[in-house]
């Protein structure tokens, strides 16, 4: 339950901080629209997870919930939040593409995806997000030292 609460709070913080950026509209999205949507979705998923945990506790009252959920979920949530915070902190320094790459690579490694697969997926995701947000939607993102 701790991990669900932590993710819910993290989603709320993400959504609240994104409101400091211009939101725009669906036809002309601002830089705050995507983080706002992610924050709200993270809150919804965390709430659904909390409900699922609560329902599973009521079905098996004899077994402590801590034993059922002791698969490292709390540590993965903490690593998840640390990776997101690090990628966000580095966004202005290394640029959007490199930050998106590191974010995806870190998140995939948190979920124990092999290095080779994680690197390939992260590179493709960073390139795709650059094409989508910067080139197609014309959302200004911080360029890195190499200009992209």
Share above pLDDT 70 across residues of the chain, in percent, rounded to a whole number: 91
CB under 8 Å to 81, separation ≥6 — which residues?
6, 10
Region 75-80: what's the mean pLDDT? Answer: 85
Delimit the domains of the chain by residue range.
1-70, 71-148
Say what angle helices 115-129 and 96-110 make with each other, to 10 degrees: 140
Among the listed residues 46, 3, 15, 30, the one whose alpha carbon sits nearest the alpha carbon of residue 141: 30
Q: What is the spatial distance between Cα 80 and Cα 3, in angstroms, rounded to a whole number?
A: 11
Q: What is the spatial distance between Cα 101 and Cα 87, in angstroms, rounded to a whole number?
A: 9
Among the listed residues 93, 90, 70, 92, the one whose alpha carbon sits nearest the alpha carbon of residue 82: 90
Region 78-87: what's the mean pLDDT? Answer: 87
pLDDT of the residue at 35: 85
């Amino acid at each position: 339950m701790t991990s669900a609460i932590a993710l819910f709070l993290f989603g709320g913080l993400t959504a609240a901080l994104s409101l400091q950026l211009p939101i725009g509209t669906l036809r002309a999205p601002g830089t705050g629209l995507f983080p706002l949507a992610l924050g709200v979705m993270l809150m919804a998923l965390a709430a659904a997870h909390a409900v699922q945990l609560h329902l599973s506790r009521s079905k098996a009252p004899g077994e402590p919930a801590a034993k059922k959920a002791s698969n490292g979920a709390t540590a993965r949530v903490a690593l998840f939040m640390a990776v997101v915070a690090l990628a966000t902190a580095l966004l202005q320094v290394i640029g959007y593409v490199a930050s998106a790459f590191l974010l995806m690579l870190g998140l995939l490694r948190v979920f124990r995806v092999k290095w080779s697969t994680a690197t390939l997926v992260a590179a493709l995701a960073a390139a795709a997000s650059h094409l989508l947000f910067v080139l197609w939607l014309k959302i200004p993102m911080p360029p890195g030292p190499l200009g992209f």
